[in-house]
């Protein structure tokens, strides 16, 4: 690509989170960067969009980088929609989301605001990648991700992505070098919830959702295996949710 690529950056932890600041810094070395990101944390928002309320989108300056930035009152998917239609007025060459503070591997892809932004871009025909680090802390160390992110972005800009596919990239939490980048499938697993039941000062019961991830897959080709063995995991993700392999069987049902 002779001309610098136009890159839309977003996330779900909010526009001031260290993860997106690092991603913006890396993208500034690759292309022209426009940021449209939530003005507040939107973790766990899945593919939510704002249809019963209004949205705001305001230009702001957060640091001295070359990027142009907008904070948006909506969800990550809203940010991509607004970014493409209202801010850019055209499809960017790439959309990157993250770097998320916390894992989006295995079934977490379903609940992930980070990945919903990438998927929304994919739906709109934009090559897109979500990046997440397996460290929930605000002061997580993003420094050793730069080289891998650049490699993955370069591959996507050079090769493109097939229609209907975006990438879900997760980084293990480590102080040492990664063993490499591994193409994986989404591991089978789920979150086993527990609800912490409490009583508020007025005597009314309420709950906090918490839970424990349960891996139900011992394959060595999964994202969970790769991450446990210090590889960067890359899962190609699709948004045609049809279980094609089950259509024939269903057709034999007695309707």
Among 5, 28, 48, 146, binds its own copies (CB under 8 A): 48
Told to check if 195 binds its own copies by CB under 8 A, we report: yes
Cis peptide leading into residue 99 (ω within 30°)? yes
Which residues, 6+ apart, have CB-to-CB distance to 39 below 8 Å? 14, 15, 71, 72, 73
Told to check if 49 binds its own copies by CB under 8 A, we report: yes
Which residues, 6+ apart, have CB-to-CB distance to 31 below 8 Å? 4, 5, 6, 7, 93, 94
Smallest separation, CB 67 to its own copies (Å): 21
Gap between the Cα atoms of 51 and 6, Å rounded: 28
Among 103, 114, 170, 186, binds its own copies (CB under 8 A): 186
Nearest Cα neighbor of 19 from 104, 152, 145, 112 is 145
Q: Which residue, 71 or 81, has its beta carbon nearer to its own copies?
A: 81
Told to check if 136 binds its own copies by CB under 8 A, we report: no
Q: Which residue, 65 or 178, has its beta carbon nearer to its own copies?
A: 178
Which residues, 6+ apart, have CB-to-CB distance to 136 below 8 Å? 101, 102
Binding mask 88-117 vs its own copies (x if CB under 8 A, - otherwise)?
-------------------x-xxx----x-
Q: Which residue, 2 or 51, has its beta carbon nearer to its own copies?
A: 51
Among 137, 138, 179, 183, binds its own copies (CB under 8 A): 183
Smallest separation, CB 64 to its own copies (Å): 26
Are the CB atoms for 92 and 139 separated by under 8 Å? no
Point out which span in 3-11, 28-36, 89-97, 198-206 binds its own copies (CB under 8 A).
Answer: 198-206
Point out which span in 2-10, 22-30, 93-101, 183-191 binds its own copies (CB under 8 A).
Answer: 183-191
Gap between the Cα atoms of 148 and 237, Å rounded: 19
Nearest Cα neighbor of 165 from 152, 154, 156 is 156
Residues 137-176, interacting with its own copies (CB under 8 A): 151-152, 155, 159, 162, 164-165, 168
Told to check if 243 binds its own copies by CB under 8 A, we report: yes
CB atoms within 10 A of CB 177: 10
Point out which span in 25-33, 63-71, 127-135, 188-196 binds its own copies (CB under 8 A).
Answer: 188-196
Are the CB atoms for 75 and 49 separated by under 8 Å? yes
Among 23, 35, 77, 117, binds its own copies (CB under 8 A): 77
Among 16, 28, 50, 144, binds its own copies (CB under 8 A): 50
Report DSSP state, residue 230: T
Are the CB atoms for 133 and 96 separated by under 8 Å? no
């Amino acid at each position: 690509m002779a001309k610098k690529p136009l890159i839309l950056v977003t996330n779900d932890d909010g526009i001031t989170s260290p993860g997106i600041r690092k991603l913006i810094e890396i993208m500034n070395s690759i292309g022209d960067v426009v940021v449209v990101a939530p003005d507040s944390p939107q973790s766990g928002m899945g593919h939510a969009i704002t249809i019963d309320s209004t949205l705001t989108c305001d230009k702001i300056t957060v640091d001295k980088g070359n990027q142009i930035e907008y904070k948006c009152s909506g969800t990550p998917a809203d940010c991509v929609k607004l970014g493409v239609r209202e801010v850019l007025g055209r499809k960017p060459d790439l959309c990157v989301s993250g770097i998320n503070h916390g894992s989006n591997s295995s079934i977490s892809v379903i609940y992930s605001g980070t990945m919903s932004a990438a998927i929304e871009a994919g739906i709109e025909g934009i090559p897109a990648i979500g990046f997440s680090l397996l460290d929930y802390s605000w002061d997580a160390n993003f420094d050793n991700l730069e080289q891998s992110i650049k490699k993955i972005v370069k591959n996507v800009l050079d090769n493109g992505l097939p229609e209907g596919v975006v990438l879900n990239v997760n980084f293990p939490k480590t102080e040492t070098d990664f063993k490499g980048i591994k193409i994986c499938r989404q591991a089978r697993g789920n979150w086993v919830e527990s609800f912490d039941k409490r009583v508020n000062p007025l005597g009314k019961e309420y709950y906090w959702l918490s839970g424990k991830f349960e891996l139900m897959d011992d394959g060595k080709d999964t994202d969970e295996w790769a991450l446990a063995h210090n590889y960067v995991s890359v899962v190609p993700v699709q948004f045609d949710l049809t279980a094609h392999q089950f259509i024939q069987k269903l057709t034999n049902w007695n309707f």
